[in-house]
Structure 1
């Protein structure tokens, strides 16, 4: 029972009792002094009994009414709690489906305690599943699972973000998986400030972009290969081909010159061999 309600009930009962019993006794006593009437003692007893009966009935009514309101409030809270549980369950189901569809890894970083929690997708994407692997305490700034070539830049980016109290942070880096391999990820975080405007907490999502990143790197390599082939076409092939085109008229002109003709044919053969080697290099690059 609520202490405030009990205290109010006791004070109310004492106040009513004093007014009823003392005040009633005072009225009957003075009436007895002024009038000689039989039965006043009986009236005094009836007054006391009636107070007892009325007070008991009133207390029962008040307590019953109080508990009825509490029960109604409790039923309302129970319905709200049931609805909240249902909504939360639906939200979690939706969250799980979204996680499966997006391959996002959700994280929660408490800045005040330097504690990082992985909330979902961490096992599916990176393979970590033990309690120690799902909680990082006092070691967040080490970022020891970020690739060593990306670590310093990522830490500096995050530090600058907190220093400037920006609301959104993003970075791309390679992250260590449990099997020892690395995956390219796109990390995004959102800052929560306290009432004084100081960084309090961050919520973020890390997305696996390994396939996309590797495909982009592969395209870059292919583009570079195409550029190299284009350069070979425009320089390495053109030079021996120009030599051959220039030698052909000379051969025709000196067809009857037994001294000059063999030398011109040797030049033509050298240019043909150079052209063949260049074409072989191009075929080799295309096959790779």
Structure 2
């Protein structure tokens, strides 16, 4: 390609034949208005010939050249005169080359100087790649360090040539070594192992040298502060021509895992011992899968081996058909209601086909949303206990029925004795015989009171309460009648009746008279003769209050809690009268509660003893509730 170039004086010195840089002159291509359209080359020196060859004259038509500035930027060089430096890359003479380019204003165009920097560019690129590899290596090392710290492990390497141990950078922190005191030999490493395990670790390392694949072992080490940690070693030996050359691997801190495993073993042992000691069948149910893990006591309790017992559907089939619906309904309610426990009593089929009465109890574990994820419990065979309770209940019912029948049948001969004594008294007997007849009548009355108390006790035990005949009743009037009767029986004692208000209500007058009589008789029998007995009737619109007070020594505090229990007596009776069975206060409580009321007692040295009875104005509501409860119990 021929070219002619007539440069100005300022470029002549650079364009001699020996100039190493390529130079191409470009002139502006403009339209009639002077607007810059493009550039085209006009001349070039010999060094630029390979670069220009194959390219068109117009700069915009050049191909395979990367890095050319836009036309406007090159126009700025022409207009402003400020040189522009940039880098070009392209194929020159069939080879990929890099150039440092500099555009310098030249008339109405510019001179493009090209310096070949391919070699230096390659060196720079190689340097950059090396730096990038180093950065990547450092990043991998940092990632490895973080991973090792997170996983609580370190890496190690031993070579037969060096006879030294190399550790990852976190080894001193990992083993609790002082900074800079890394154990760089197997001997120094063994110093940190517990003395009783050093020989085992040394033997494990020797076996690792001979192992064909990965090997592992555990040991315990002591930190500088005295803390003992558990470690697990995983390593592998690399060989050359059959000889061990290197050993490398990782050491993991398994202290927490070892503790968890020990705790798990202890829990499993406690679980096994608890199952063995209580003879209960322990179970673990997963509601999501329906699987049930059965304990070892399954054979003892129900006759099944654990592997013979199935999941929730199998368990459902073994529940007695008459109990199944109730048991499943209660279990479903416990699971869905958000509760944390479940208790069921039902019959369960043993392996031999018979049914055992069992008590089943479970605790529910829930997730954050309240869904049941696990349920653990135990099954207790209560067949024998249930039979024993049934026998005891039957014996108790027999005894109470016997007492009731005996008390009822004793009334006929007792009435005969009473009537005969009264007939003798009316005949005007001599004083000695009249005294005997009076004693017979008094004893018969006492026996009648005993029989009444026995019958009331029997009614309470058998029918759930003493029946009431409710009617409009005046409590003060009932108290007055009782006080008059007892004044005749105890002429030497003073009984003071105080009444305030109407004192009317819906009660059983006969039973209220029994309450007042028992309480006043109790005061007469246990109180002193030093002061009167007070009977007070007060109240308001909603309730009536009855208080019976007597002076005397207080009731011992330890006896107050059981004072109203049957067959309880406090102290020695002063009069020698009364039933003597200890049923009086028990019957008082039953009668008051049958009316929907409450009876309490307070006793101290200064004020003596006071029984306080609170009665609602209308006892019909309480009577209906007790009747319904008794009916439900009888139905059950």
Q: Could you say which TM-score interval applies, normalised by the shorter chain?
A: 0.5 to 0.7
Seen in structure 2, the aligned counterparts of structure 1 residues 163 and 75 have a Cα distance that, compared at 3 Å, is: closer
Match of 1:107 among 271, 283, 305: 283
Distance 2:386 2:312 in 1: 30
Q: How far off its partner does 1:220 sit?
A: 1.3
Query: Over alpha carbons, which structure has the higher Rg?
Result: 2
Aligned residues: 215
Seen in structure 2, the aligned counterparts of structure 1 residues 54 and 198 have a Cα distance that, compared at 3 Å, is: closer
Match of 2:100 among 22, 26, 30: 30
| 8 Å contact kept, 1:107–1:116 | no
Q: How far off its partner does 1:213 sit?
A: 2.5
CA RMSD, 1 decimal = 4.5
Q: How far off its partner does 1:135 sit?
A: 1.5
Q: How far off its partner does 1:112 sit?
A: 5.4
Higher-strand-fraction structure: 2
* 1:215 lines up with 2:369 in the alignment: no
* 1:87 lines up with 2:87 in the alignment: no
Instruction: Structure 2 unaligned segments of length 5 or more: list them.
Output: 1-85, 89-97, 105-112, 154-251, 418-636
* 1:46 lines up with 2:123 in the alignment: yes
* 1:179 lines up with 2:355 in the alignment: no
Counterpart position of 1:60: 137
Q: How far off its partner does 1:170 sit?
A: 1.9
Counterpart position of 2:152: 75
Seen in structure 2, the aligned counterparts of structure 1 residues 149 and 55 have a Cα distance that, compared at 3 Å, is: closer
Q: TM-score, normalised by structure 2?
A: 0.28
Q: How far off its partner does 1:111 sit?
A: 4.7
Equivalences for residues 1-288 of structure 1 within 5 A? 26=87, 29-30=99-100, 43-75=120-152, 79=254, 80-111=256-287, 115-120=290-295, 121-129=297-305, 131=307, 133-136=308-311, 138=313, 143-158=316-331, 161=334, 167-191=340-364, 202-231=375-404, 233-234=406-407
Distance 2:306 2:150 in 1: 43
Q: How far off its partner does 1:186 sit?
A: 1.5
Distance 1:130 1:101 in 2: 18
Seen in structure 2, the aligned counterparts of structure 1 residues 74 and 111 have a Cα distance that, compared at 3 Å, is: closer
Distance 1:61 1:117 in 2: 53
Distance 2:260 2:99 in 1: 64
Q: Secondary structure at the match of 2:357?
A: strand
Distance 1:228 1:152 in 2: 36
| 8 Å contact kept, 1:105–1:118 | no
Distance 1:147 1:219 in 2: 25
| 8 Å contact kept, 2:282–2:294 | yes
Higher-helix-fraction structure: 1
